[in-house]
Amino acid sequence: MNHNILVVEDDPFWQNLIQETLAGDYQVRVVATYDEAKQVLEEAKRQEERIDLVTVDMGLPSLLDSEGATIKAGQRVVNYLSRHHPDVPCIVVTGLPDISTTQVRDLFKRYNVFDFITKHNFDLGEFLDIVERAIEHAGDEEPHGTNRIGRYEIVKELGRGAMGIVYQALDPNIQRTVALKVLRPDLTSDPEFKQRFRREARSAGRLIHPGIVTVFDAAEHGNISFLVMEYLEGQTLDQLIKETGALPPARVCDIAVQICDALDYAHDAQIIHRDIKPSNIFSLPGDRVKLADFSIARMLAEPRLTRTGIVGTLDYMSPEQAMDRDIDHRTDIYALGVVMFEALTGQLPFQTDNPGATLLKIISEPMPSPRDLDPSVPVGMAAVILKATAKDPARRYQSAAEMRQALQSIPQDRDKTDEAGSTQENSR
């Protein structure tokens, strides 16, 4: 089978070298810019054509955004792949000779990069070996043999994330529909990721709450590690926002109250979620919601594991989490405030195409009010968001229960034209 590889490289010498190296065994397409790469990937998706691997030159010429800020095009390609094509492995080619000791490795571990290779003393054999391993792991992501993992019969794939693939499955022993979360094969050889995966089972399995997805079991089958979870009929908040845009304030308030209740329970059990975002919140019939994926939850009482970089989703990270500092339960409160902002406005508070620029804004820029984007957002809800997302954790709500109480006390008929300037300044 000929695998399709997209090479994103602007230097003619490296274009020719990489293409000649791969052409004998792979179908290779070369593009030179972010826009060209995005166009190829989008067209392949429309045509249902598989792209098996992307190599990205981190030295692509920088671009300027509308405000004159510099955007590194290579980072933009990697960020786009992580967001829109998480199943496509990516190899970063860089001109940095000290790639193994720089923070670049930690930064891009968050963006699903399979491996790195430096142009300094570039080794064709090493490059081909990395390509072969990436292709092999991509092919191994599907269940082996018949549509079964262990005793569970696979029905269909539900989604893919940074740690694995989720399938709808049937437990034939009790005829129950479940969701299987399968650890990515390329992570099974990484002791820390396997430890983190087992920790998800330990932490999430302790949580029995109507607002939290239930974990039934954790198991291994051959070299496949997986969780067995409750199957939910519904859609994620992320899907809902993409379909409908901004949600009514009353609905956002109700969602936030339910998530606060779930977080209050988890925090009381000494568990931090660390990755609150719309794609981890399920909207169910009857206006119920459930919080999913404690895959990077950290037990407060558990010894700290070896770090391989920041974990979480950048757009929803608190400043302290983005700076890789020690965190506590208040990082979840910050993230929920960002989720509320997005649900009310249909936009993130800090929108950029460059993860480095997003990181800088999270750390240094004041949180905008949702009323700056939509003046119809109730003053009370804007005030809750600004307090929840204060840069200093000491100025946020000190518990999810306190935030829930603030949300429940917002008058439904309060004048939306009231000024919230003093609240906004105090919360920052």
Is residue 91 pLDDT above 60, yes or no? yes
Is residue 23 predicted with pLDDT exceeding 60? yes
| More confident of the two residues 198 and 6 | 6
pLDDT at 366: 92
Other Cβ atoms less than 10 A from the Cβ of 152: the count is 23
> Confidence band (pLDDT; 50, 70, 90) for 331?
very high
**Which of the four pLDDT bands, split at 50, 70 and 90, describes residue 357?**
confident
Looking at residue 415, what is its pLDDT? 42
pLDDT score at 87: 72
pLDDT at position 334:
97
Per-residue confidence (pLDDT) for residue 381, from 0 to 100? 96
Judged by average pLDDT, the poorest of 75-79, 126-130, 364-368, 421-425 is 421-425
* Spatial separation of the C-alpha atoms in residues 336 and 388, rounded to whole Å: 8
> pLDDT at residue 329 above 60?
yes
pLDDT at 92: 85
Residue 1 has pLDDT above 80, yes or no: no
Q: Write 252-256 long-range contacts (CB < 8 A, 24+).
A: 252/340, 252/343, 252/344, 252/381, 253/381, 253/407, 253/410, 254/287, 255/281, 255/283, 255/289, 255/343, 256/336, 256/339, 256/340, 256/384, 256/403, 256/404, 256/407
pLDDT of res. 194 = 66
Percent of the chain with pLDDT over 70: 78
Structural domains of the chain, ranges and CATH numbers in brackets = 3-139 (3.40.50.2300), 148-230 (3.30.200.20), 235-427 (1.10.510.10)
Q: What is the mean pLDDT of residues 259-275?
A: 93
pLDDT at 318: 93
> Across the strands, what pairs with 116?
92
Cβ neighbour number for residue 102 with a 10 Å cutoff: 13
Residue 114 banded pLDDT, cuts 50, 70, 90: confident
pLDDT tens sequence across 128-184: 888 888 887 666 555 444 488 888 999 998 887 766 788 999 988 788 999 998 877
Distances (CA, A) of 180 to 154, 309, 310: 9, 26, 26
Nearest by Cα to 357 from 162, 158, 70: 70
Q: What is the pLDDT of residue 354?
A: 81
Cα separation, 14 vs 388, in Å, equals 48
In this prediction, residues 81-102 reach a mean pLDDT of 72
**pLDDT at 400 exceeding the cut of 90:** yes
366-372: average pLDDT:
95
Query: Is there a contact between 368 and 349 (Cβ–Cβ < 8 Å)?
Result: yes
Condensed to tens digits (0 to 9), the pLDDT of residues 28-87 reads 999 998 889 999 998 888 887 888 889 998 777 665 444 545 557 777 888 888 777 877
Return the structure tokens found at 276.
């609150």
Active-site amino acid positions: 275
Task: Kindly report the average pLDDT of the chain as a whole number.
Answer: 81
